[in-house]
Structure 1
Amino acid sequence: MDSNVSAALIAGGTALVVSVVGGMISWRLERGRLREELRTEFMAEETISELLLHQRWPLRSFAKIKHHIGGFADDELRQLLVRAGAVRFKDDNGEEMWGLRVRNQDRLN
């Protein structure tokens, strides 16, 4: 094999390996940075899930959830509730109530 072809193949293989490794490192660093930035949202979603999993209360009022999960505007909190798997209901007085979809299948019909 010609030495120029061998050198080109080695250079191409090296470039491929460096690109793949560099891409993987960049992806992991970016994932970690993004996870850190979104940590507040992740923790809020976990807390919402725990609140809505409480055995005694299959539904919680939006006001009560907002009391426990501070620091979010109303619509941001509603988005967190949906991401946590919650659905919205209205009680007899028209108050906004939230519960996990898996715990309130009977109310969805």
Structure 2
Amino acid sequence: MLLPLFFEATLGPEIWALIGVLVGGLLTGLINYLLQRSQFKHNKEMYYLQNTSRENVKDYLIELLNHKKYPERKYVTLRKRIGAYSDDDLRILLTEVGAIKSQAKDGTELWYLKERNDERKNAIKKGYN
């Protein structure tokens, strides 16, 4: 009981007000940090749930484009395998996985992964086609 009387006698009301402001600020900051962390975790889970199908399609496209026998694929074949997306969306997904568009001599649209350029029949050694 003697200790609080000592602090009250030596510390004025201005100092106690300052200590109260500091403690209140720290507690507010801690509570905000915990709320923001929880919100970030929730947003991350929602993003994952909303984009799961796109990520699965990307994985499947990589699998198709990494096939041993076919270093490049016709766009028509890819479109048949991935039916839920429009042509533009599918082309965007192909570029997101690192695929490059080329054209066969007969005008057929072909897609291949950049790292498999050397495996193609008519591979271009320098530059792009």
TM-score, normalised to structure 2, is 0.80
Identify the residue that residue 54 of structure 1 maps to in structure 2: 67
Query: Does residue 91 of structure 2 align to residue 74 of structure 1?
Result: no
Structure 1 stretches lacking a partner, 5+ long? none
Match of 1:14, as an amino acid?
L
The structure that has the greater radius of gyration is 2
* Identity percentage of aligned residues: 22
C-alpha distance in 2 between matches for 1:75 and 1:84: 15
* Runs of 4+ displaced beyond 3 Å: none
Provide the residue aligned with 2:24 in structure 1. Answer: 11
Aligned counterparts, 1:14-93, within 5 A: 14-93=27-106
Bigger RCO of structures 1 and 2 (CA < 8 A, at least 6 apart)? 1
Name stretches of at least 5 consecutive residues in structure 2 with no aligned partner: 1-10
- Count of residues paired in the alignment: 109
Deviations 1:42-96 (A, max 9, x none): 1100100010011111100000001111111000000000001100000111100
